[in-house]
Amino acid sequence: MTGVEITFLPDNRTVRVPPGTTLLEAARLAGADLEAPCNGAGSCGKCRVQLLEDADQPHADELLHLSGSEIAEGVRLACRSRADGSATVQLPGAAASGHRILSEGLLPAFAIDPRIGKRYLELPPPSLADNCDDLSRLARALDGGLLAELPLAFLQELPGALRAGGYRVTVVTADRHPIGVEPGDTSARCYGVAVDIGTTTVVAALIDLNSGDELASASMINPQKGYGLDVLSRIQQLRAHPEALHTLSSLIREGIDQLIGELSASASVGRGEIYELAVAANATMTHLFLGVDPAGIGASPYLPAFTAGASVPAREVGLAIAPFGLVYCLPAVSGYIGADIVAGLLAAEMDQSAGIALLIDIGTNGEIVLGSAQGLHACSCAAGPALEGMNIGCGMRAAEGAIERVLIDGELTLGTIGDAPAVGICGSGIIDAVAELVKVGAIGRSGRLLRLNGKEAPLPWHARLRSDGSSRFVLSETGGVEIAVSQKDVRQVQLAKGAILSGMLSLTAQLGIGLEEIERVYIAGAFGHHVRKESLARLGVFPRECLDKVVLIGNSSKSGAIMTLLSREKRARAEAIARKVGYLELSCFPGYDRLFADCLSFAEGAW
Amino acid sequence: MTGVEITFLPDNRTVRVPPGTTLLEAARLAGADLEAPCNGAGSCGKCRVQLLEDADQPHADELLHLSGSEIAEGVRLACRSRADGSATVQLPGAAASGHRILSEGLLPAFAIDPRIGKRYLELPPPSLADNCDDLSRLARALDGGLLAELPLAFLQELPGALRAGGYRVTVVTADRHPIGVEPGDTSARCYGVAVDIGTTTVVAALIDLNSGDELASASMINPQKGYGLDVLSRIQQLRAHPEALHTLSSLIREGIDQLIGELSASASVGRGEIYELAVAANATMTHLFLGVDPAGIGASPYLPAFTAGASVPAREVGLAIAPFGLVYCLPAVSGYIGADIVAGLLAAEMDQSAGIALLIDIGTNGEIVLGSAQGLHACSCAAGPALEGMNIGCGMRAAEGAIERVLIDGELTLGTIGDAPAVGICGSGIIDAVAELVKVGAIGRSGRLLRLNGKEAPLPWHARLRSDGSSRFVLSETGGVEIAVSQKDVRQVQLAKGAILSGMLSLTAQLGIGLEEIERVYIAGAFGHHVRKESLARLGVFPRECLDKVVLIGNSSKSGAIMTLLSREKRARAEAIARKVGYLELSCFPGYDRLFADCLSFAEGAW
């Protein structure tokens, strides 16, 4: 049989195609799920796949859409890559409601030893001569190993399970202790769900606890968004209206329950076959999910009610999984270094790293952790949402029509998501735009937009610099709709990058570590996936010497949650990490204000 | 100051009255709660009190209403007893909705060491320099002593309690582990509720866990009564309609929640100040309360789902006490020797008795336990409800108008509850009636009602023997309403006494114990409180040699529940008792059928 064999992961769909077929066509033949809004024109950049063997040199179209690190990692556009030999191709996770939500994350190798287990038992049927009660009969088969305080659901399920299974039952255990019982031998079917509750997005993955495989993934915009886009505004809502705690809590619980329903349906796994959720989230989201008032986090001294990991019955948080199912919330370090960061450290294995590493999660609140197996220290900085495209005049989320690429090379070239007409600027777009404006001198080192005085040699982009009304640089004005980067936008970007950079430099200074000693920079989250390294360097979000050490670990919050679901050792490690990380309060760090001011500069030598 | 001082328990109300005042008048002066429907006429017999010091010889009116054992125990009618010297008088518990429900029970002395405790803490307020989370702050004050898996309600209450109490809080503990937290110093207020769920009635008592005092008592008819009057008929309902489990479960939960509300209101104790319920019930009632299907108990080999003691969150059984409150269900021995019997053994301290004792609980299902500290053995017998006045042609519960006393001494004398016109016969009435009919020869040893042949010397009561339609003895026909004891009624009583007597004799035979070796006969429940010993002897419910050893321990199910609420040692002992009692299945006992037939006889020598 001629042709080459292409296997698409994670669904493991294989198809044989003639050599030279594009991976996009192969994916369609295989019935694999791959979005391609521009239908193979090479312009939208959405049909990203990762080649797990050698990848060819990238096509010119790919260079516009892919960052250097992505290219190095074998990421290509399926419409521009051709099957020359047999290949294994990793497809991206599903997106939700038109938004790009990052669901994939780096997952290190580890031994599977989940907290939840199963044990199949064949009990002798009762008689008048052997008439002990159901629970005692089960305890006898378990060598007396029953909890003193069994979950009520266990007792409620027991008699039905024994009768229905003809005294052959499967006992579900947590840390080897029985928590539930099912008729017959169900040991082959044992599932958990890992959840990343972000302030903006929620991602859930269905995990086979026997194999460790991720069977399905689902995501949604955090249903609390109507109560404020960031953590602080939601806390302020709560301070003004304490009764909103119930609403915020219900919203996220119902949202997660909906995701569980989607996962269950898409993988043909019953809700009752799901026994545990592992939830990683920032401290405020964890509080709201559990129905605990997070108001203390919102004002000095910024105290959460708890940081320890918590395990509660799923019923108590309104989730319909197995009736005796559990929910584990990963531990946090402090109010602003949440379980999502602990999960990231777990996924990056920074607590076991011989060399010094840095982990950064960039969002409205930026979190930075520096250290190694010798010790870990963290700080958080109020970066604002500018680097995510928020609080920007023409800012928008990464959705269709968002400008995500800007090149100024004589003339201006724009790339939009979905190759659609530009309707706004997303995070990677604003970073690219400001970096390119710095590159061509349209933004000075102090962050001031150039005002032409007519003496310059005229350049093609000069016409885009406007100062009627406000100073701005116009990216697009198709159909009379102006999409521009304003002086105010530049200041927002500048404050964000200043906050992150100064946080990082405070940590290194505090610990007496030189930037050159940092061996790895892990970037958690979506940030960096769609941004060119060169732009990051020019902007000064990171010192240039760190750029080559960057590893994008993606949704490491979800990865860490998966690890705690699958490994008791990793769960214990998460708890240890949370206790181990030292917290540096930047406002107490000597000389911080001066350092922050220095870090606002776009001149790379300034800091 | 002249006069004598009378103190009424349990409320400890003291009043000084002139010598010769009746205790009923004194009780009214003291504001003590004592029912007297006949207003002191000496006819209703309801104003019973117990004199804790020496009591005078009983008045003639008292002999009609009180049993010999009651008189021996100092029980008198308050309207017929006069205060000659200072005295301490125990008042009875409250009755509910017109029915007499026994709420008092024997309670031995023991040290108070409840599972639930409180600990007041003053924490250092937080600052930026001391900014650990709320839970860690509390753990520090508790020397790190926090549960790994705290109840969710603990976390939910924590931040509010710390803020409201200015970092002075009281931690509520269970077995020394924190389960809840409250603002300020609440250590003086700590309450529990002991519950006896009977198939017919439910009794709840509010207990001060610091002092051990019973603050209030409340009772109701079991709200499941619409689903059958006895355990078996409720189980049959469930076998036919499995969905009724939810209804039966909700009914008893809502009933208990209502009693908690009454206790809370009457003693001015908040529901949130109640931290634990201890529940003693037969196995079926315990199953239904916890929402566990009891169907296995209803058919051979009569298996309950569990017999072990169970502790579950109060929330999970729908009870509104403290949000982190617990419910403890006492353990059972088997499907027909329930936690109510274990509670009775605990209250009677039979597991510690040097001499051999017998405990009997007479109801539709009769339970009998025989033994000592050396070992305990139990059996259960289907007595039927005749001795409670049920399944009797004119039978009724012990409510106003029920015939409760019958004397045939030439003519017939009747006593009714509330001195009201007779409307039916209650349990003590049918026992008295049959015993008196045996005494005068109207019932033969085989149980057959006398048929007059006209040759007898005519006696005044002969006119009451009728055989038109059915054979019967007419007790009352005032206003054309006939209240009679029929041949069928006699057979029901005969079956009941035969079942109890044969069960008792099977146990003694099995263990090789002679009746004379039995040092105490504890009668649990209402049975015996309103019955004359002589009637019991004549009926042959017990062998005559046991009668003088009878101790009425009243609602020992409630007493045992109170003991487990107040003492961790007693709780452990209840668990040990449940494991220790051997169960004798009468249907497997050799020669049981013959013994049962012998025990049906009304001739005392026959068994």
Q: In angstroms, what separates the C-alpha of A556 from chain B's closest C-alpha?
A: 24
If we measure between CA atoms, which residue out of A75, A88, A102 comes closest to residue A27? A88
Q: Is the pLDDT of residue A37 over 60?
A: no
Residue B407 lies in a domain: yes
Percentage above 70 pLDDT, chain A: 95
Contacting residues of A for B134, CB less than 8 Å apart: 296, 303-306
Which chain A residues are Cβ-neighbours of B148 within 8 angstroms?
311
Q: Any idea which of A271-285, A286-300, A440-454 has the lowest mean pLDDT?
A: A440-454
* CB nearest to A133's CB, from B307, B313, B588: B307
Q: What pLDDT, on a 0 to 100 scale, did the predictor assign at position B526?
A: 76
- A292 → closest Cβ in B128, B155, B334: B155
Residue B336 covered by a domain:
no
pLDDT at position A344 is 97
Of the residues B115, B130, B132, B133, the best mutation for testing chain A's interface (the one with the most A CB atoms within 10 Å of its CB) is: B133
A437 located within any domain: yes
Are A127 and B301 inside 8 Å of each other by CB?
yes
Give the gyration radius of chain B's Cα atoms: 26
B592 and B504 in a common domain? yes
Give yes or no: residues B373 and B404 share one domain.
no
Instruction: Report the amino acid identity of residue B253.
Output: R
Q: How far is A290 from chain B (nearest CA, A)?
A: 7
Chain B CB contacts of A300 under 8 Å are: 128
pLDDT of residue B94: 42
Is residue A596 domain-resident? no
> Using one digit for the tens of pLDDT, what is the confidence trace for B494-550?
999 999 999 999 999 999 999 999 999 999 987 877 788 888 888 888 888 888 888
Residues A86 and A129 in one domain: no
Contacts of A305 in chain B (CB under 8 A): 133-135, 155, 158-159
On whether ipTM exceeds 0.95, the answer is no
**Contact: B152, A311; criterion CB under 8 Å:** no
Q: Which residues of A touch B136 (CB under 8 A)?
A: 306-308
Nearest CA in chain B to A323: B316
Q: For residue A300, what is the nearest residue in chain B, using CA coordinates? A: B128
Least confident of A177-181, A356-360, A386-390, B433-437: A386-390
Q: Are B366 and B500 in contact (CB under 8 A)?
A: yes
Q: How far is CA B345 from CA B126, B303, B356, B412, B560, in A?
A: 52, 22, 13, 40, 8
Residues of chain B positioned with their CB less than 8 A from the CB of A587: 128
B487 and B520 co-located in one domain:
no
Res B386: pLDDT: 87
The DSSP letter of residue B462 is G
Domain match, B262 and B248 both: yes
> Taking 90 as the threshold, does the pLDDT of residue B335 lie above it?
yes
Percent of chain A whose pLDDT exceeds 90: 57
Q: What is the mean pLDDT of chain A?
A: 89
| B248 neighbourhood in chain A, CB within 8 Å | none
Please name the member of A149, A304, A315 whose beta carbon is closest to the beta carbon of B133.
Answer: A304
Mean pLDDT of B559-571: 97
Residues of B with Cβ-Cβ distance to A136 under 8 angstroms: 306-308
- A213 is written with which tokens? 């495989």
CB B217 within 8 A of CB B204: yes
* Cβ atoms of residues A390 and A399 within 8 Å: no
What's the gap in Å between the CA of A183 and the closest CA on chain B?
15
Q: Per-residue confidence at A98, pLDDT binned at 50, 70, 90?
A: very low
Flag if A317 and B152 touch (Cβ within 8 Å): yes
> What is the predicted pLDDT for the residue at B478?
84
Q: Do residues B391 and B379 share a domain?
A: no
Kindly list the distances between the CA atom of residue B373 and the CA atoms of B377, B478, B506, B576, in Å, as whole numbers in the listed order: 11, 54, 20, 12
Residue entry with tokens 């617990």:
B326
Residue B229 pLDDT > 80:
no
Contact predicate A219/A95, CB 8 Å: yes
Return the structure tokens found at B282.
């037969």
Q: Name the strand (E) or helix (H) holding A348.
A: helix A339-348
User: Which among A91-100, A167-176, A416-425, A598-607 has the top mean pLDDT?
Assistant: A167-176
pLDDT-based confidence at B96, cuts 50/70/90? Answer: very low
Mean pLDDT, chain B, as a whole number?
89
Rg, C-alpha atoms of chain A: 26
Q: Are residues A81 and A122 in the same domain?
A: no
Chain B residues lying within 8 Å of A291, measured CB to CB? 152, 156
In-domain check, residue B338: no
Q: How far is A253 from chain B (nearest CA, A)?
A: 15
CATH of the domain at A77: 3.10.20.30
pLDDT band at A39 (very low <50, low <70, confident <90, very high): low
Least trusted range by pLDDT, from A151-155, A188-192, B373-377: A151-155
- Asked whether the predicted pLDDT for residue B93 surpasses 80, the reply is no
Would you call B133 and A302 a contact, using CB atoms and an 8 Å cutoff? no
Q: pLDDT band at residue A97, thresholds of 50, 70 and 90?
A: very low
- Determine the residue of chain B that is closest to A295 in CA distance: B159
- What average pLDDT does the segment A53-78 reach? 82
B151 vs B180: CA distance, rounded Å? 8
Q: Residue B288's closest chain A neighbor by CA?
A: A156
- In chain A, the number of structural domains is 3
Using CB atoms within 10 A of its CB, is residue A12 exposed (0-12), middle (13-18) or buried (19+)?
Answer: exposed
Q: Choose one of A155, A183, A211: the last residue of a domain.
A: A183
Domain of residue A130, CATH code: 3.10.20.880
What is the rounded CA–CA span in Å between residue B323 and residue A345?
Answer: 36
Select from A442, A461, A492 the last residue of a domain. Answer: A492
| B443: pLDDT strictly greater than 70 | yes
Confidence label for A377 from pLDDT (cuts 50, 70 and 90): very high
Q: Please tell me whether residues B377 and B510 are part of one structural domain.
A: yes
What is the distance in angstroms between the Cα of B140 and the nearest Cα belonging to chain A? 13
The pLDDT assigned to B98 comes to 41
Average pLDDT estimate for A246-253: 96
Residue of B nearest to A302 (CA): B131
Average pLDDT over residues B132-159: 85
**Domain boundary residue among A466, A492, A518?**
A492
Tokens 């109640």 found at: B274
Question: Cβ contact (<8 Å) for B310 and A152?
Answer: yes
Residues of chain A with Cβ-Cβ distance to B337 below 8 Å are none
Count of other CB atoms within 10 angstroms of residue A229: 18
Give the number of A-B residue pairs with CB atoms closer than 8 Å: 132
Residue of A133, A303, A312 with shortest CB distance to B304: A133
Give the chain A residue nearest B311 (alpha carbons): A149
Contact A135 B301 (CB under 8 A): no
User: Is B99's pLDDT higher than 50?
Assistant: no
Identify the closest residue of chain A to B125 by CA–CA distance.
Answer: A301
More confident residue, A497 or A68: A497
Chain B contact set for A149 (CB, 8 A): 310-312
Distance from CA of A143 to the nearest CA of B (A): 16
Contact B301 A126 (CB under 8 A): yes
C-alpha B157/C-alpha A177 separation (Å) is: 28
Model pLDDT, residue A270: 98
Segment B543-572 mean pLDDT:
92
Beta pairing, strands B356-361 & A465-466? unpaired
Classify burial at A534, counting beta carbons within 10 Å of its beta carbon; exposed 0-12, middle 13-18, buried 19 or more.
middle
CB spacing of A152 vs B127 below 8 angstroms: no
Q: Residues A33, A122: one domain?
A: no
- Are B216 and B143 in a shared domain? no
Give dist(CA B416, CA A429) in Å, integer: 94
Mean pLDDT of A447-451: 92
CA-nearest residue to B148 within chain A is A310
H helix or E strand, kind and range, residue B405? strand B402-409
Integer Cα distance of A122 and A185 in angstroms = 9
Long-range interactions of B29-35: CB distance < 8 A, separation 24+: B30/B6, B32/B8, B32/B91, B33/B91, B33/B94, B34/B78, B34/B91, B34/B92, B35/B95
A19 contacts: CB under 8 Å, gap ≥ 6: A3, A4, A82, A83, A84, A85
Residues A393 and A474 in one domain: yes
With bands split at pLDDT 50, 70 and 90, how would you rate the model's confidence at A95? very low
Amino acid (1-letter code) at residue B145: G
In a domain, A562, yes or no: no
Q: Which of A218-222, B69-73, B137-141, B599-603 has the lowest mean pLDDT?
A: B69-73
Print the domain residue range for A125.
116-183
With cut-offs at 50, 70 and 90, classify the pLDDT of residue B339: very high
Where residue B517 sits, what CATH number does that domain have?
3.30.420.40
For residue A130, the chain B residues in CB contact (below 8 A) are: 301
Distance CA B164, CA A28 (A): 61
Considering B1-15, B24-38, B453-467, the range whose residues carry the highest mean pLDDT is B453-467
Which residues in chain B touch residue A293, judged by CB atoms under 8 angstroms apart?
156, 159-160
Q: Distance (Å) from the C-alpha of residue B15 to the closest C-alpha of chain A?
A: 49
Answer whether residue B97 shows pLDDT above 50. no
Of A152, A158, A303, the CB nearest to B133: A303
- Mean pLDDT (whole number) for B558-566: 97
Chosen from B131, B181, B248 to mutate, greatest number of chain A CBs within 10 A: B131
Most confident of A4-8, A424-428, B275-279: B275-279
Q: Is residue A425 part of a domain?
A: yes
Q: What is the pLDDT of residue B144?
A: 62
pLDDT at A94: 43
Assess if residue B344 is contained within a domain: no
A148 and A51 in a common domain: no
Instruction: Give yes or no for a contact between A156 and A197, defined as CB atoms under 8 angstroms apart.
Output: no
